[in-house]
């Protein structure tokens, strides 16, 4: 440093020294101060919470409060020798122990031996054990008796990020305080206060980026702020902060979301290209988009979103403006799509492609008509179409014929008249015919007796049928040809033919080249052709039906698929 003084990082320089300076943990400060004022100070405390939210700082403030020369008070003076020693970490009566490096039972036994001696010049001997969950079970057992009945001059303060790893026997002997994540607005306010004291020129939006980088941790936010000052000096621009922190620019999120709602596919892909050029992680950008859409959804769903969202006022107003023209349902549909995409990107080899496909789909989603509007249109349709014929698939009542139009029965011959003439079950019975074989009835008979052989014959074409002789063709190089050519299969077909006709029948199997024309269709091919013709007739009937045409006119819709119920 120019003046020879070593630089002190912001997290240490602006570490809270009194309960009133603690940010975002007012519930802890108030409870501890009330306990001190009323003389109800427990012998063991457990501070839990995420990293960087003030657990160790609170432990030091509590230690100073209990040992301050001016007496036990709800705020330390921070000027007496005892307070200064604790602040500097040089007190001989306040021990800060790292639970991660003092995990063994021998360390705890040494601590237990030290407890027996009175404080050298303070009111209490105070043991602050950070990351206490790292102690071994044997160490906890060695500490248990002392923790249950400690000497009057001893206080324990434990801090941990993982309280669930502590034995229940330890938890039950401590007064527990849960530290919350620091709200974004309070971190921004604290950063603004520090920026003013350090004479740093920086915008509120840049401070919001720094605070969001901290993710609820004041210490992490101050560390990020230190990094910004080291890079930018005392004049930090928004662009420099975005570049340095690798954060997603909020304007890019706003531009991409606006392109999605406009249906601007060019703008969507341009936004993804920008993400790639800047070097953002694609999945991180997707997650930022999810948070962005979630914020807009909350704004469109509740009356007081500021009570739900952890956002700065400027960001809240910007999101209000962006979401003003869209319904909660429109936002929710796209949010659901993005959440699914995020899960897919976790295993994707091409995350950019996955995100591009999802955002293009989000930009081209068809608008959804409100259900009430649909109900009103349906009611109007029913009122105006009382005397029109019913829909062709309405099974509840027959369709009345319209002049110049075929009836539902005549439009679908295979579903009404055809069913009456279709082969009945009795056709599957053997019917002697002087040796001649009716192919369809024969296959039906075989399907009943030997389904495995019948399923093969369905794919065969009857090339020649004479009394005592049957020639069957199958596509060359097909599974069915191979199955039928087996000598055992031919013998079984001949036996079945004899049982069906009452006469000995020679069966011959031949291969059919695909390009050969004039070959009779197999039963499978005939059924396929009949089905296609039926669907074509049904499609024509639907397209010409007056009720359907009226419905399409009212709803402004079109037919995309026709299915028979």
Q: Report the pLDDT value the prediction gives residue 155, as an integer from 0 to 100.
A: 92
Structure tokens at 470: 């049957």
Query: CB 144: neighbour CB atoms within 10 A?
Result: 14
H helix or E strand, kind and range, residue 131: none
Model pLDDT, residue 371: 64
39 with 170, same domain?
Answer: yes
- Flag whether 263 is in a domain: yes
Residue-level pLDDT at 497? 87
Residues 163 and 236 in one domain: no
254 within domain boundaries: yes
The answer as to whether 537 is a domain residue is no
487-501 and 439-449 helices cross at what angle (nearest 10)?
A: 110
pLDDT confidence of residue 247 = 65
Alpha-carbon separation of residue 275 from 122, 148, 375, 515 (angstroms)? 58, 57, 43, 55
Task: List Cβ neighbours of 86 (8 Å cut-off, separation of 6 or more).
Answer: 60, 63, 64, 67, 94
What CA–CA distances, in Å, run from 319 to 250, 309, 322? 10, 11, 5
Residue 411 resides in a domain? no
Is 227 buried (19+), middle (13-18) or exposed (0-12) by CB count in 10 A? middle
Rounded to whole angstroms, how far apart are CA atoms 380 and 250? 46
Residues 83 and 192 in one domain: no
Cα–Cα–Cα angle for 66, 72, 77, rounded to 5 degrees: 85
Please tell me whether residues 109 and 59 are part of one structural domain.
Answer: yes
Taking a C-beta distance cutoff of 8 angstroms, is the pair 289, 254 a contact? no
DSSP designation for 522 = P
34 and 56 assigned to the same domain:
yes
pLDDT in tens, the chain (565 residues): 455 567 788 888 889 999 998 888 999 999 999 998 888 889 999 999 988 899 999 999 999 999 998 888 888 999 999 999 999 888 989 988 888 777 667 778 888 888 888 988 889 999 998 888 888 888 888 888 888 888 889 999 999 999 998 999 889 889 999 999 888 888 999 999 999 998 989 988 888 888 888 888 899 999 999 988 888 888 888 888 877 876 667 778 888 999 998 899 999 999 999 888 877 888 888 998 999 999 999 999 988 888 888 777 777 888 888 888 888 888 999 999 999 999 888 888 889 999 999 999 999 987 766 666 667 777 776 665 444 444 444 433 344 444 444 443 434 444 444 444 444 444 444 444 444 568 888 888 888 888 888 888 888 888 888 888 888 988 887 888 888 888 788 888 888 888 888 888 888 888 888 666 677 888 888 888 888 888 888 888 888 888 788 777 777 778 877 776 6
Mark 525-553 as b/e (b = at least 16 C-beta within 10 Å).
eeeeeeeeebeebbeebbeebebbeebee
Residues 21 and 89 in one domain: yes
Question: Do 437 and 501 contact (CB within 8 A), yes or no?
Answer: yes
Sheet holding 125-130, edge to edge: 94-98, 125-130, 154-160, 44-48, 175-178
- DSSP at 541: H
Q: Does one domain contain both 168 and 205?
A: no
Q: Where are the alpha helices (DSSP H) in 385-501?
A: 408-411, 417-421, 439-449, 451-457, 479-485, 487-501
Sign of CA dihedral 470, 476, 479, 483: positive
CA distance 470 to 273: 68
Compute the distance between CA of residue 493 and CA of residue 504 in angstroms, rounded to an integer.
11
In a domain, 329, yes or no: yes
pLDDT value at position 515?
63
The helices-and-strands tally (H runs, E runs) of the chain is 26, 8
- CATH code of residue 164: 3.40.50.300
Distance, CA of 249 to CA of 171 (rounded, Å): 44
CATH of the domain at 269: 1.20.272.10
Classify residue 157: in a domain, yes or no. Answer: yes
286 within a domain of the structure (yes/no)? yes
Among 85, 98, 78, 87, residue whose Cα is nearest residue 20: 78
215 in a domain, yes or no?
yes
Rounded-to-integer distance, Cα 466 and Cα 437, Å: 7
Residues 83-136 pLDDT 10s = 999 998 889 899 888 887 776 677 788 888 888 889 888 899 999 988 888 888
Q: Shortest CA distance to 11 belongs to which of 165, 187, 133, 138?
A: 187
| Of 235, 226, 244, nearest in space to 199 by CA | 235
Host domain of residue 40: 10-178
For residue 565, the model assigns a pLDDT of: 66
Q: How many CB atoms sit inside 10 A of residue 49's CB?
A: 23
**Contact of 23 with 185, CB cutoff 8 Å:** no
463-to-62, 472, 517, 518 alpha-carbon distances in Å: 100, 5, 12, 10
The distance in angstroms from the start CA to the end CA of the chain is 83
Q: Are residues 156 and 191 in the same domain?
A: no
What CATH code is carried by the domain that includes residue 477? 3.30.300.180
What's the pTM value of the predicted model, to 2 decimals? 0.57
pLDDT at 426: 45
Q: Are residues 270 and 354 in the same domain?
A: yes
Phi first, then psi: give them for residue 106, nearest 5 degrees: -65, -35
Do 237 and 292 share a domain, yes or no?
Answer: no
């Amino acid at each position: 440093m120019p003046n020879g003084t070593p630089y002190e990082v912001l997290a240490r320089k602006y570490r809270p020294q009194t309960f009133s300076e603690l940010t975002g943990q007012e519930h802890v400060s108030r409870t501890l101060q009330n306990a001190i004022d009323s003389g109800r100070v427990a012998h063991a405390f457990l501070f839990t919470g995420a990293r960087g939210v003030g657990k160790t700082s609170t432990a030091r403030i509590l230690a100073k409060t209990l040992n301050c020369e001016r007496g036990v008070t709800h705020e330390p003076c921070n000027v007496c020798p005892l307070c200064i020693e604790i602040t500097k970490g040089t007190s001989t009566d306040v021990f800060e122990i790292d639970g991660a490096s003092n995990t063994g039972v021998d360390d705890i036994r040494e601590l237990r031996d030290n407890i027996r001696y009175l404080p050298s010049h303070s009111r209490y001997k105070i043991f602050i054990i950070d990351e206490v969950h790292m102690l071994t079970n044997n160490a906890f057992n060695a500490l248990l008796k002392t923790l249950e009945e400690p000497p009057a001059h001893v206080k324990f303060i434990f801090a941990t990020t993982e309280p669930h790893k502590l034995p229940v026997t330890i938890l039950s002997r401590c007064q527990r305080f849960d530290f919350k994540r620091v709200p974004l607005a309070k971190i921004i306010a604290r950063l603004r206060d520090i920026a003013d004291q350090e004479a740093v020129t920086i915008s509120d939006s840049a401070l919001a980026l720094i605070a969001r980088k901290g993710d609820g941790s004041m210490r992490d936010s101050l560390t990020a702020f230190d990094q910004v000052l080291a890079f930018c000096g005392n004049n930090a621009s928004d662009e420099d902060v975005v570049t340095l922190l690798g954060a997603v620019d909020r304007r890019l999120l706003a531009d991409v979301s606006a392109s999605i709602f406009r249906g601007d596919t060019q703008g969507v892909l341009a936004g993804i290209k920008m993400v790639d050029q800047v070097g953002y992680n694609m999945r991180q950008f997707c997650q930022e988009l999810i948070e962005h859409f979630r914020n807009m959804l909350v704004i469109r769903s509740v009356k007081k979103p500021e009570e739900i969202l952890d956002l700065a006022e400027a960001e809240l107003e910007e999101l209000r403006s962006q979401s003003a023209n869209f319904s909660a349902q429109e936002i929710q549909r796209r949010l659901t799509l993005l959440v699914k995409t995020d899960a897919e990107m976790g295993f994707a080899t091409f995350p950019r492609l996955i995100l591009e496909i999802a955002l293009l789909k989000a930009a081209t989603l068809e608008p959804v008509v409100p259900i009430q509007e649909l109900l009103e249109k349906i009611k109007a349709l029913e009122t105006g179409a009382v005397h029109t014929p019913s829909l062709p698939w309405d099974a509840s009542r027959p369709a009345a014929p319209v002049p110049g139009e075929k009836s539902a029965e005549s439009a679908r011959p295979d579903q009404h008249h055809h069913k009456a003439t279709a082969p009945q079950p009795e056709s599957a019975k053997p019917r002697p015919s002087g040796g001649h074989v009716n192919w369809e009835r024969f296959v039906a008979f075989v399907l009943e007796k030997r389904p495995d052989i019948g399923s093969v014959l369905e794919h065969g074409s009857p090339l020649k049928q004479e009394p005592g002789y049957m020639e069957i063709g199958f596509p060359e190089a097909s599974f069915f040809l191979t199955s039928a050519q087996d000598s055992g299969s031919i013998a079984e077909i001949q036996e079945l033919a004899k049982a069906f006709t009452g006469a000995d029948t020679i069966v011959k199997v031949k291969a059919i080249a695909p390009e050969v024309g004039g070959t009779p269709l197999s039963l499978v091919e005939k059924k396929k052709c009949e089905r296609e013709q039926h669907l074509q007739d049904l499609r024509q009937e639907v397209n010409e039906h007056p009720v359907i045409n009226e419905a399409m006119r009212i709803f402004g819709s079109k037919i995309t698929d026709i299915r028979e119920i």
